[in-house]
Amino acid sequence: MPKGAHKDRRFEVAAASRIGAGPHQRLENQDNFLVIDGTGRATYLRDGRTQSAQLAHWPQGHRRLAVMDGMGGHGHGREAAESVAAGLLAIPACADIPTLTRHLDSLHHTLQARFDALMEAAPRPGTTLTMLEIPPSGPPLLWHAGDSRLYEITPQAVSCLSVDHVPATVLAIGGLLDEEAWRHHVHGSHAPQIAQAFILGNTLLDPARLDDGLVALDGNTLPPWLRALPDRRAVTLRPDATYLLATDGFWSCRDPAEFVARWPRLFAQDSAQACLDALFGEMETHPPLGLQPDNLTAIVLRVHGAARDETALPQ
């Protein structure tokens, strides 16, 4: 995939989205991503092709990273993810969770109305949205809905910094799964089921009813072993770690934990782009056992000193 690079400040970012890996693939890429760098240059997908735009009045040094996984089984999965990517371009830079949430709730309801107006028999479409909003000063902000993930990767360990909005999490919230069982269901296996998605709505608090709104899981909702991972919070980005925002095609396999355990080796590279290439290369040459056909989208983020800053993106 052709790549382009240009200078940014303090952060090194690489992003890519592909229809899949291996001999069996889906007919289209229903994932999307958005990268807005510190100069206001935005990169995203439209009709499966990489697009770029220069945002006016974007604050110098502010960044936005997001991955989206459209729900193809509901119809209009690509369009849902694409609409969210486009909507994120119109949301101004945000420096706190309440402001970011207000804009995203507005976008969520606007897109619900747009797709509901189609009056189709199929269920309302949806998409995951996992994003980092990184102001030039102040802490980075995580905002999450769905089952895409944010990971922190060091040479010693891989830590998932987000909680999947899936039926197993609903059971854990209700006290019907303990920590070991939850981790087995969520990180030791994979099922194509979701309990909350942008545009679609949620069944997180009432599995018998689809509510139009979005629910933020937090310390008051999550079981004790997950309370440190609320969906909407400030996060710390460590210079000795690599961060990965990714859609679930990378762990849609028989033994996700085995594949994730390879990541410290794959991410032991000297640049974000090299880490991204290693991850996609491993999917092609040594895919995880029982890999299911699914789209693959990833953003790799590294934090550096001011002397080494660049963004590498597909063109």
Handedness of CA 161, 64, 81, 208 (dihedral sign): positive
pLDDT in tens, 71-126: 865 568 899 999 999 999 999 999 999 999 999 999 999 999 999 888 676 778 99
- Are the beta carbons of 198 and 127 closer than 8 angstroms? yes
pLDDT at 44 over 50: yes
pLDDT in tens, 51-76: 999 999 999 999 999 999 998 655 68
Instruction: Count, in order, helices (H) and strands (E) of the chain.
Output: 7, 16
Residues 151, 242: Cα–Cα separation, whole Å: 8
Output the pLDDT for position 263: 98
Q: Is the pTM of this model over 0.75?
A: yes
The CATH number assigned to the domain with range 3-314 reads 3.60.40.10
- Burial category of 77 from C-beta neighbours within 10 Å (exposed 0-12, middle 13-18, buried 19 and up): buried
SS3 200: coil
Amino acid at 93: A
Q: How crowded is the C-beta side of 309, counted as CA atoms within 13 Å? A: 13
Question: Which is it for strands 11-18 and 310-314: parallel, antiparallel or unpaired?
Answer: parallel
pLDDT in tens, 219-240: 999 999 999 999 999 999 999 8
Residues 44, 52: Cα–Cα separation, whole Å: 7
- 196-231: burial string, b at 16+ Cβ within 10 Å, e else: bbbbbbbbbbeeeeeeeebbbbeeebbbeebeebbb
- Are the beta carbons of 163 and 268 closer than 8 angstroms? no
Residues 241, 257: Cα–Cα separation, whole Å: 19
Output the pLDDT for position 75: 64
pLDDT in tens, 257-276: 999 999 999 999 999 999 99
Domain boundaries, the chain: 3-314
Among the ranges given (4-13, 21-30, 90-99, 187-196), the one the predictor scored with the smallest mean pLDDT: 4-13
Residues 31, 39: Cα–Cα separation, whole Å: 25
How high does pLDDT run on average in the chain? 91
Tell me the two tokens of residue 263.
């990541």
SS3 235: coil
Contacts for 251 with CB less than 8 Å, ≥ 6 apart: 187, 190, 259, 260, 288
pLDDT at 309 over 60: no
Residues 84, 111: Cα–Cα separation, whole Å: 8
pLDDT in tens, 126-137: 999 999 999 999
Output the pLDDT for position 5: 39
